[in-house]
Structure 1
Amino acid sequence: MNSQTIASQSPIAVGVLGFGGLGQAATRVLMPKTEMQLVAAADKQGYVYDARGLEPQTCIEAYRDRGSVGYVESGGVLSQQSIADLIQAAPNVQGYFLALPNLPNTFMASVVQQFIASGWRGVLVDALKRTSAMEQIYALRDELQAAGITYMTGCGATPGLLTAAATVAAQSYTEIHSVKITFGVGIANWEAYRATIREDIAHMPEYDVDSARAMSDEEVAALLDRTDGILQLENMEHADDLMLELAGICDRDQVTVGGIVDTRNSKKPLSTNVQVTGRTFEGKISTHTFTLGDETSMAANVCGPAFGYLKAGITLHQRGQHGLYTAAEVMPQFVR
C-alpha cells in the first residue's frame, strides 16, 4: 500500500505520549495535517482520548494551567498509570509518538513492554538519543514482531533525520571513513524542554543519567547560570552509531556526535550538519555535508521526521511487516 492509498482513507488516528515541550510541539505539528489526526495524549498524571479528534490548544492549556491533559473537560482522565490506562481505553489508535524523556535510561523499554503486554497492535515511533537505551529496544525486536507491533526507533533529528541523510550520503563511497554529526540548538526558555535539557546534561563529563535526573530545577538553573546558558557536548553517547552500524554503513566507533545548546536564545549557536567522509571507487577522498536550515527549530526537526516515520510505519504495518526498524533502514513518508 503506497502513500496515495493511505491519503485516500480516513486520517491516521495517532497519539502522543509525553506532554512536555516536545509533546506539545508534536501536537502543533499535527494541527495543519489532514492525513493524521490527534486523538490521544498522556502525561504522568493522566490522559485524554477522543476518537473524534482532540483540540491541541485545549490540551496544551490544560497541561500548562493544571499540570495534566487529564483535566481536559471532554475525554480527560486523571491516572497514575496513564499509559497503561490509555492503551486499554483507546484500542483504535493506530500509532503513537513516544515523546517521552529517557530518564531513567530504562524508561522507554519499560513503556514498550507495556504495549507488548497489552495486546495492542500498531505503530510506535521514538526519538531516542542514547545508544544504550536503543540497545534495550533492539533486544525486544522479536517480542515486538510476535506482538504485531511495528516499531520505528531513532526517528527524531539526531538520531533520525541526520542519520538518514548520512545513510544516503554514504552511497557515493566504497568505504566510509567517518560520520560526524554536529548540532546547534537554540531554546529561549529551558523550562519548556526540561526533560530534553536534563538528557543533554547527562552527556556532560561530570554528570551521568542518574545524577542529571536527580537534579532539581533550581540546580539545573544554577548550572546554566555558571555556563551562561550554554551546554557544550562532545563525543556523546548517541544512537546514530548503533543505527549506522546495523545498516552496514560503518563501525560505530567511526561515528561522532556533539554540539552546542543555548538555553537562553532561540537562535541556533551553530548550524546543525552531518559530514560523511569516505573513499570513492576511483580512490578519491571526499566529504558530503548536509546542513539543516538555521530557521528550523529542534522541535520541527524532531517532530516532523517522527510523524514521517510513523506514516512509513503504518505502510509497513498494513503489509504485515512487524518488528523493529531504524531511521537508517526506512525512508520517511511526508505527512500532508
Structure 2
Amino acid sequence: MNQSAIKVGVLGFGGLGQAAARILSAKQEMFLVAAADKEGYVYHVEGLDCDRTIKAYHQQGSVGYLEPYGTLSQNSIAELIEKANVEGYFLALPNLPNTFMAEVAKQFIQSGWRGVLVDALKRTSAVEQLLEIKEDLAKAGITYLTGCGATPGLLTAAAAIASQSYTEIHHVKITFGVGIANWEAYRATIREDIAHLPSFDVETASKMSDAEVEAFLDKTNGILTLENMEHADDIILELAGICARDRVTVGGVVDTRNPKKPISTNVQITGRTFEGKISTHTFTLGDETSMAANVCGPAFGYLKAGIALHRRGIHGLFTSAEIMPQFVR
C-alpha cells in the first residue's frame, strides 16, 4: 500500500457505491477504508477488500456484516463519521428524499468532522438547499464539492470549458443515454429518474415498492424517456456566470434492461463568438463508458481536487463548474 495514499470513504453502497469501490481498488493514490449503508458500516484503516465488501452486501444486505471490521447499526453514518479517520467521502447516496443530501451535510457539520465531501446529486432544489448552509460548511472546516457525477458533473464542466469560445451562451443542451442490464442494481437512481416523469414526483417515486417499479417498467418495456428535467446543471452553470438557468436543458433515455446505451451521451453548447458567428460545440462520451464510470470517475477526481483545496485551508461549498477535477492515478 502507498503510505502517502489518500484514505477515503463511500457513503451509500448500492450500484454507485459498489462501482466506486471497484474503481478505487485499481488506484494507487487513493484507497477505500470506510463504507456505510443504511443497515451498517465497515472501517479498516489498512483498506477494505473490494470483493469481500461487495459480497457481504450482496449476500447479507449490509457491509456491516463484513467480518471482522463491520458493524451493524441503524445510525451508520453518524457512527462512521465518529470512528473513521478519512480525508474525504464520496456521498453515493440516493437523492430521495430530496432533502437527504443537505441533511447528511448537516450531520457532518454537527459532528465536528473536518474534511472533504463530494456528491453526485441531480436536482436543482437539492443544490439550493446546500447553498443555504454554505457558510456553515466553511465555518466547520468542510470543503464540499457538489454536482460532481456525470450530469451534473463531467458534462457541466465540459460545458463550462466549451463556453470560453463564445461571448454569449444561447443554449446548453445535455442529452444522456444510460443502459443497465438490471434496474435492481441501481434502484435509487432509477427511482430518481421515475420522479422526473410526468405524473410522478419525488414523494410518489420514493414510496414505490420494488414490485410497483417493476410493474411500471413492464409498461414502458424498461425504457424511461426524460425531458426538461429539474437538473442541477442549470443552477451550477448560472452560479459560474456562464448563462441563465433557463438556457440549460437536460433530458435522456434510460434502458433498464440492456447494458448498451440507447443513445449517445453528449452536451451541446451553442453561442455567439466575438466575430458574431453562431456555433455549437458538441462533446460526446464514448458509448462504451458506463454510467458508473462517468459518475464515479469524476467524483473521485473532484474529491482529489477538494483535498488539495482543503490542505491549503480553503473550505466551503464549490460546484463542478468552478473547480477542475484532478486525475486519480
Query: Under TM normalisation by the shorter chain, which class is it?
Result: over 0.9
Q: Which residue of 2 aligns with 1:188?
A: 181
Q: Tell me the equivalent position of 2:224.
A: 231
Residue identity matched to 1:200: D
The equivalent residue for 2:235 is 242
Query: Is 1:218 paired with 2:211?
Result: yes
Tell me the residue number matched to 2:61: 67
Match for 1:159 among 152, 170, 179? 152
Distance 2:185 2:15 in 1: 5
- Residue pairs, 1:114-263, within 5 angstroms: 114-263=107-256
CA positional deviation for 1:74: 2.1
Report what 2:289 is aligned to. 296
Provide the residue aligned with 1:94 in structure 2: 87
Q: Secondary structure at the match of 2:196?
A: coil
Letter in 1 for 2:46: R
TM-score by length of 2: 0.99
Structure 2: tracts of 5 or more residues without a match = none
Evaluate the alpha carbon distance shift between residue 315 and residue 9 of structure 1 in structure 2; reply closer, same or farther with a 3 A threshold: farther
1:12 aligns to 2:6 (yes or no) = yes
**Deviation digits for residues 238-294 of structure 1 (CA, Å, limit 9, x no counterpart):** 000000000000000000000000000000000000000000000000000000000
**Of 71, 77, 83, which residue of structure 2 is paired with 1:77?**
71
Q: Which residue number corresponds to residue 4 of structure 1? A: none
In structure 1, the residue matched to 2:278 is: 285
In the TM superposition, residue 84 of structure 1 has moved relative to its aligned partner by: 0.1
Following superposition, the deviation at residue 9 of structure 1 comes to 6.3
* 1:113-139 C-alpha deviation (Å, 9 max, x unpaired): 000000110000000100001110111
One-letter code aligned to 2:204: S
Query: What SS does structure 1 have at the residue aligned with 2:303?
Result: helix
Q: Please name the residue that 1:43 is paired with.
A: 37
- Residues in 2 aligned to 1:245 and 1:210: alpha-carbon distance in whole angstroms: 27
Question: Partner of 1:3 in structure 2?
Answer: none
Structure 1: give runs of 5+ residues left out of the alignment: 1-7
Q: How far, CA to CA, are the matches of 1:57 and 1:122 in structure 2?
A: 27
Q: Secondary structure at the match of 2:280?
A: strand
Give % identity. 77
Q: Which amino acid aligns with 2:119?
A: D
**1:19 aligned partner, one-letter code:** F
Moved beyond 3 Å, runs of 4+:
none
Equivalent position SS for 1:24: helix
